[in-house]
Structures are given as C-alpha cells and as structure tokens.
Amino acid sequence: MESAKDMNNFMSLDDYAIFCRNYLEFIYDGLQAVIVSQNENNYRFFQYGKEGAYTVTRPINSLLMLSIEEFESAYDIFRAAIPHMQELKTEYKVRNTINKFVYY
C-alpha cells in the first residue's frame, strides 16, 4: 500500500508496469478471497487480508485482466504500439491486448 501511495514510484511508463507486475504477483496468492459477482460472473471482487484491513476492491472485469504469464508480452506489445495507435484501428488482437493492459 505504501508503494501505491508514493507518487515518485509512478514517474514513467515502466514504473507503472513494475507496479502492475508486482500487483499481479501479489494477487496470485496474497488475497484473503476472490468473490465472484452473482449477477455478472466475469466480475470479481478482491478482498485483501489483515494488512489491507480486509477491504474489498471495486468490481474487476476478469475478461479484461491479464494473467502474470501474459503480462510481459502484453507490455512489449503495448510499448511497441504506442507510436502507432492511429494505425491500429483495425488490428483487433493488438487493440485487445492494449485494452487489457490499460485496464489496470
């Protein structure tokens, strides 16, 4: 939590990627619970443990989340695509990866 509060940790795109990667590693086995929405089963709520005061996140669309295994390649695609965003209007696979990456 302290890392997220320190704005000096978010000075570059790489800094944001480091934070996202660390978060993905944390949620892999560091959550108290993952709650599946009853109305929309693709939405998840993450509940933190004692260190996070047992708080629950906003609903997170699991269809837009990357796994830790997908993250590195998605980041490479995202970085390479930035200068070419206007040209990628019809590139569904790349745009889908960018949407997932930005969702974090």
Residue 45 has pLDDT above 60, yes or no: yes
What's the pLDDT tens digit per position in 85-99? 777 767 777 778 887
Q: Which residue has the tokens 């949407």?
A: 99
Would residue 4 count as lying in a domain? no
The total number of residues shown for the chain amounts to 104
Q: Are residues 70 and 22 in the same domain?
A: yes
Determine, yes or no, domain membership for 3: no
pLDDT confidence band for 103 (50 / 70 / 90) = low
CA 51 remoteness from chain centre? 20
Residue 36 has pLDDT above 90, yes or no: yes
How far is the C-alpha of 94 from the C-alpha of 83, rounded, in Å?
A: 13
Same domain? For 59 and 70 the reply is: no
Tell me which residue range forms the domain holding 75.
13-27+66-104
Distance CA 29, CA 43 (A): 19
